[in-house]
Structures are given as C-alpha cells and as structure tokens.
Amino acid sequence: MKRCSKCKEWKELEEFYNNRSQRDGKTNQCKACIKANDLTPYEQAYTKWQGQVHAEKRKDYWKKYYAENAERERERGRQDRAQNPERRKQSSRKRLLRQYGLTPEAFTEKETEQNGKCAICGQTNNGKTLHVDHNHKTNAVRALLCARCNNVLGQVDDDIDLLQALIVYIQKFAAAPPIVPLKRPDKAICPKPIRDKPPKDKPARCKPIRKPPNEARATEKPIRIRKGPSRTKGIKQTQVFAACSECGQTKFMAVIGLCWACYARKHRQEKRLKLK
C-alpha cells in the first residue's frame, strides 16, 4: 500500500506508475491523479511557448499581420466557406445554443411557425437565415427577424418612446409636396456662347512660327552650365547645338565655336607643344 501525495488516499502499488528514481520504484501520485493533471501535447506546447507572458506580443503580431494581409485573409475565408458550408452551420448552431440556449430543433420549429418570414415585416431574409431577436435585458428569445428589422430594433435599443417619435416624424412630412429636380438643357437647345472679337489695338493671339531645331538651338542661350567629365579637367560645358568653326558639322559645343572632338584635338596639340 502507498499513499498518493495528491489525493491523500491509500492505494495498491498497481495504482501507481513505475519510476526508477524513487526509492520504492513507484511515482508519488497515483495513475488517476496523473491522468487528471496531465495535459495533451498541444496543451503542453501552448503552456510552454504561448503562455500569458507572450500574450501582448501575440496580440501585436496578429494585429499587424491582418492589417498587412487583409485581402488575403478575406479571400481565404471566402474559399473556406465555399468548400465547407456545413462547418459554418455548425458554428452558428453552437453560437445559438451558447448565447440564447436555443437548440437547432427549437430554431427550426420557430422558423416553421413563422413560415420562414420575418415576424415584423413578413418578408423573407433574401434567402439567408433569419436572425434571432431577444430581449436585451432578460436575454429571452422573442422571435425571428430579417436583417433590416433586427438592425432597427438594435439601433433604437427597444425604446418605445423613440419609435413613436419616429412614427410622428414620418407622418409629419408624408404630405409634403415632392421636389422636382431641375433638368439640364440639351446640347442642341443650348446655344454656343458668342465670343467677342479682339479689340483693334490688341491683335488676336496666334501660334508662334517654330524655327528649325538647329537654328533655334544655335541662337538660344545655354540651358545650364555644369562641370564636364574628368577628361576636360573642369572645363565648363555649355549645352549649345551649333555649327563647329573647325569641322563645320552641327554638334554640341564644348566651348564657343568648337565641338568636343575639335576641342579635344586642339587641346592635345597644345599639350604636345608645351612638352617640347
């Protein structure tokens, strides 16, 4: 006989698991207590890695994940509902039983009594399941309503005075004359505006005559001045497109009157003369 350290009961040795580390070769707790306290592998992992210590981290992680992958999660939910329609029905039945104490049989019976129609407006819910209406104070189930009537009752919070005020308000403006919207005139009826002629001292505007590209660029001022590449040793480059005085070809000018090729050739000649 051995006494269990958990339930404090004396039991036979067969009621204990073997444990070589103990003096008598048996565990201190009996098999029944160990089974009651043991967790499944999933629960052990959850307790070890997903405890209350990391609750805020998990909350922040999933909040950020759903914000970045909102459309992906919506698509996954739509696919899951299409592939497993029965799962959604089971979830709805569990919620009804947990929240209102309404079994699936009781819900079906109440729906049959109402012929599948709303208890207020007498219309169907567009092919969807009717909503359970309950008293918000006693939580007692009253009837099945469509989505519109259920939302209206929820907005007014079952306030009879507010509902009567809404009825008086609607009846007050029921006999008001309708407002006829103004129609825009047709394009054929609406005449085009007559433009006044320009005064004699101010001639009418016309498009300027465009010059040929080469002549226009040759006469224009440099667009901007910047330092050239390293081979020019800091010589300022002007973006002017004109005819070179050496070769006679129309190119971008390195300096006034010389293109880049002629300027480089002349620069090399001057450098050779200095070396001599």
| DSSP secondary structure, 29-61, as one string | EEHHHHHHH---HHHHHHHHHSSGGGHHHHHHH
Mean pLDDT of 20-48: 79
Beta bridge partners of 21: none
3-state secondary structure (DSSP) of residue 134: strand
pLDDT at 230: 45
Domain ranges of the chain: 2-38, 84-171, 215-275
Q: Which residue has better confidence, 226 or 122?
A: 122
Model confidence at 87: pLDDT above 80: no
266: exposed, middle or buried (Cβ count in 10 Å: 0-12, 13-18, 19+): middle
pLDDT at 101: 79
pLDDT at 48: 66
Mean pLDDT of 108-117: 87
Residue 102 and residue 117: Cα distance in Å, rounded?
Answer: 18
In whole numbers, what is the pLDDT of the chain averaged over residues? 76
Mean pLDDT of 207-211: 54
DSSP state of 95: H
Long-range residue pairs from 242-248, CB within 8 A, at least 24 positions apart, any chain: 242/214, 242/217, 242/218, 243/214, 243/218
pLDDT at 235: 47
pLDDT at 68: 92
Q: Count of CB atoms within 10 A of residue 254's CB?
A: 23
Mean pLDDT of 23-31: 89
Q: What superfamily in CATH does domain 84-171 come from?
A: His-Me finger endonucleases (3.40.1800.10)
Residue 158 phi, psi (nearest 5): 55, 30
Assess contact for 245 and 254: CB atoms under 8 A: no
Model confidence at 252: pLDDT above 50: yes
Mean pLDDT of 213-219: 48
